A and B are shown apart, each in its own frame.
Chain A
């Protein structure tokens, strides 16, 4: 693929909110991505990955999306006898669509910016597309309360941290000590525009998450 072709190809995916959307009359795609409309209420304690996945499945089922298999976009860190789990390895291969059928990303590489060009351009995940399973925009900077902090426990490339510090509220079981790495659903704040790795939480209680503009929300992806 020539450079020109690749630039064109990158510009081709549906352009939300532009005249393109009117021109594209493809059948509406079923939802395969959403932000949890409410948190589980116990800060960074999600009952581990299993608890978080079940919560994704439950919210999806409530809006008629239960036929798909849903996984939370969360990493866990390595522990003795327990290897790390990377969020990006849990969510299938895409493409993923929001609850209005709008594209979020075609591929893992686009979602995470695996090449320099992809990383510079970014995916289609932004404030007006990162909708809840009910189709609502998530409150961001400037809204009250701001709930844009997304639990991810991940580095910008979608992988688990490999250092000794806690980035996952003890693999999503702590509602007290520790810290969780957070992304921003509105890609605003913290001096960067990262959707999945903007800054760390203060600690792991629900109040700690609220303090920096969160509510314990996270991303859910369908793997099929």
Chain B
């Protein structure tokens, strides 16, 4: 590790840790920077929550990672699908390997599946290290969140496209807080990531139709700040996602 790299790594650690003891630890143990194994897609696929199923979503992860020089790993989208006749449910948490996972700057997101999801009450109360400053894109950019680029038009697709600084914190997961697929009869995955259908109401609370469960990449808003399961959307089209500050982004994890 060059001196410049280690200084940058230390600054990053101290910024994120916010803790003197953590900084002291980092200074004593200058570990080599870990390669990226986690990112938020810098762009969506452009067709709302129609991602071409899990296969299409995985391919998008792989393509973005490859463009960022990380194509040597095998990438999976953090998405669940619901059971259909002859087709069992798929849990997002079962698709992403076992960790640990690091972002594009080498910061650890979580050491394992149990920390990532809070499998025990102690782990769940502490939470993982997914925050607005750590769940960055494959390019290392922060995903704009609540109160960023605030404008009355920031719920319109055209405006969001033209203004990359506007809020787009709603992240597709189709998952429950524990990282598993929903087991009820409602749609939480936009028909397993193949649909751009409208919901039955623009009011999320009344939308029992087409929708996708989303998390908050900035851990702000949505009633609970959950990274993977805050609430559903108003529908599955690009316009529907935009209505609540989404643009069809999602999490990608390397399984190796």
- Which residues in window 222-254 of B have CB below 8 A to A? 222-226, 229-232, 234, 243-245
> By CB atoms of chain B within 10 A, which of A7, A19, A120, A157 has the most?
A120
Assess A124 versus B18: contact at CB under 8 Å? Given A20-B204, A23-B205, A188-B133: no
Query: Which residues in A have their C-beta under 8 angstroms from that of B129?
Result: 191-193
- Pick from B20, B117, B244: contact of A202, CB below 8 A: B20
Do A123 and B224 touch (CB < 8 A)?
A: yes
> By CB atoms of chain B within 10 A, which of A122, A148, A188, A194 has the most?
A122
Q: Does A135 interact with chain B (Cβ within 8 Å)?
A: no
Do A142 and B15 touch (CB < 8 A)?
A: yes
Q: Does A100 interact with chain B (Cβ within 8 Å)?
A: no
Do A17 and B221 touch (CB < 8 A)?
A: yes
Contact with A along B66-99 (1 / 0, CB 8 A): 0000000000000000000000000000000000
Cα of A142 to Cα of B18 in the assembled complex, Å: 10
Do A156 and B122 touch (CB < 8 A)?
A: yes
Interface stretch, picked from B48-56, B158-166, B175-183, is B175-183
Cα of A187 to Cα of B17 in the assembled complex, Å: 11
Do A128 and B220 touch (CB < 8 A)?
A: yes
Q: Does A16 interact with chain B (Cβ within 8 Å)?
A: yes
- Pick from A15, A127, A149, A157: contact of B222, CB below 8 A: A15
Cα of A156 to Cα of B124 in the assembled complex, Å: 10
- Pick from B18, B231, B243: contact of A148, CB below 8 A: B18
Assess A202 versus B21: contact at CB under 8 Å? Given A15-B223, A121-B224, A122-B226: yes
Distance to closest chain B CB from A180 (angstroms): 13
Assess A124 versus B121: contact at CB under 8 Å? Given A7-B182, A190-B22, A213-B18: no
Q: Does A211 interact with chain B (Cβ within 8 Å)?
A: yes
Do A120 and B124 touch (CB < 8 A)?
A: yes
Do A11 and B245 touch (CB < 8 A)?
A: no
Q: Does A14 interact with chain B (Cβ within 8 Å)?
A: yes
- Pick from B17, B19, B125: contact of A113, CB below 8 A: B125
Assess A128 versus B224: contact at CB under 8 Å? Given A113-B121, A199-B19: no
Distance to closest chain B CB from A207 (angstroms): 11
- Which residues in window 113-131 of A have CB below 8 A to B? 113, 115-117, 119-129
Distance to closest chain A CB from B101 (angstroms): 13
Residue of B nearest to A157 (CB): B125
Distance to closest chain B CB from A17 (angstroms): 4
Q: Does A200 interact with chain B (Cβ within 8 Å)?
A: yes
- Which residues in window 185-208 of A have CB below 8 A to B? 187-194, 197-200, 202
Do B17 and A191 touch (CB < 8 A)?
A: yes
- Pick from A117, A142, A148: contact of B177, CB below 8 A: A117
Do B17 and A189 touch (CB < 8 A)?
A: yes
- 9 contacting pairs across A/B (C-beta < 8 A): A4-B186, A11-B205, A16-B146, A115-B121, A119-B121, A120-B226, A190-B18, A191-B108, A193-B225
* A residues whose Cβ falls under 8 Å from a Cβ of B: 3-4, 7, 10-20, 23, 103, 112-113, 115-117, 119-129, 141-142, 146, 148-149, 156-157, 184, 187-194, 197-200, 202, 211-213
Nearest first, the 10 A-B pairs at minimum CB distance are A189-B18, A193-B127, A119-B124, A120-B177, A17-B221, A156-B125, A4-B184, A192-B126, A213-B18, A188-B131
